Structure 1
Amino acid sequence: MGSAIIFIDEIDSIGRKRGAGLGGGHDEREQTLNQMLAEMDGFEATEGIVMMAATNRPDILDPALLRPGRFDRQVIVSLPELDDREQILEVHAKAKKMDEDVDLGLLARGTPGMSGADLSNLINEAALIAVRGGDTRVHNTHLEQARDRVLMGQTREATVLNSHERERVAYHESGHALAAALMPNADPLHKVSIIPRGMALGVTMTLPEEDRYLLQKSYVKDELVKMLGGRVAEDIVFGEVSSGAADDLARAD
């Protein structure tokens, strides 16, 4: 065999830890893994054969795969950082007609944790929203709508709240917004909505100014105040809280 690069995508589909199977398909997978390990051991260093593989779950790979002479070098490809996200957005935006009001830097700040594929999908979604609205160019509002749809799901137009529920949701989100605006170390307030979307009846969105890898105590405390602001607002105005604060408590826990 001549020089070659062999790439296996999603190697965890056949390279899971052995011994946990109950027969059937598990036996076939383990036989496949055993044969692949035997073939890898048969390669000579002088043959010029390089084997590469990719996975999102390195923690479930069989240890035998990671021994020296097999997949013994691990390269971690992390999610894009703030500057990287902006550059990725710029690449995908070149293929679309963008209006002058588009601020990709602002959009990048609001997309932490998104992969390159997610960002590409976001730009495409914004273009579709623009076309459906009869616009010939993608505006900042289209990008905002696309991001909200990708992050939180579509608006639930069929969900009709009664006046009391709408009032409660409005006070709840106002509590989040007020806390975000007053807490000096919390992320800056970006927008507030009481339109049901995804699993939420309303949303208060903040916009980090930078990606964080270490969280200071002052930041965590202010973020907790912001998370619980909606619950406190309900208690002050109505004298009791509702199940709408359940997700806030789960996130703060």
Structure 2
Amino acid sequence: MYAKETLKGRVALITGGGSGIGLEIATAYARLGASVMIVGRNEERVQQAAGDLTNEGGIVAAMRCDVRNYDEVKGAVDATVSRYGSLDILVNNAAGNFVCPTADLSVNGWKTVIDIDLNGTFYGCHAAYPHLKQSAFGGSIISIITMLGVTGWPGAAHAAAAKGGILSLSRTLAVEWGAEGIRVNTISPGPIGDTEGVQRMYIEKGNGDLEAKKTALGRFGRKQDIANAAVYLASDLGSYVTGDNIVVDGGRWLKYVAN
């Protein structure tokens, strides 16, 4: 859909880039001309992903990084700049979640998800800031959240609070850093059928048709749908978009409200 040189010359760092939506975004970026660093806690996974994309002709590297550790996040940012010479795009995709009634949620369970999702996003933004403001293209930060962080998420209060916090953080930074040429946006995916999470939580349990019907379009999305939005926000096509939350959920949240 996009011209092959849409992201030519840009450098992107993607957390949680070894699988799922993060890998799909990395794949799209590499195919459209960006130089990409993918990071994650599973080094074998991110190295395999980077190798596969390199074999396709992409410019992709990988390293281990736990986003709960600021020093590791800063190290990943510094390694990206050292390897490619700049940093233009940061995608905060790393996330953790599990289903648990709030009354049964342990303090450690709460802290773990907040650390990965919310703190990890802040660490990425903070570490990337001095480089993004020097971007020749204008810096772009894209964080993956969910509308369940806006409407509430019964059974996942920790993830809801984290994702809601990321939205507020992103809009705050959009204003604070806008004058320095940094755009800050979020993407809210709906149920994406070709992800491990949807397969495990819905399809394998026999609830796939029911969950699909909860969307206005009556079907699951694809990882490519999220990658398309991430390309738009990272490129000149979205050069006047900041502080926005692009909802790519097939109208699920609207149907939920309407019902």
Q: Specify the TM-score bucket, using the shorter chain as the normaliser.
A: under 0.3
TM-score (ref. length: structure 2): 0.23
Which structure is higher in RCO with an 8 Å CA cutoff and minimum separation 6?
2
| Structure showing the higher strand proportion among its residues | 2
Provide TM-score, normalisation by structure 1.
Answer: 0.24
**Higher CA-based Rg:** 1
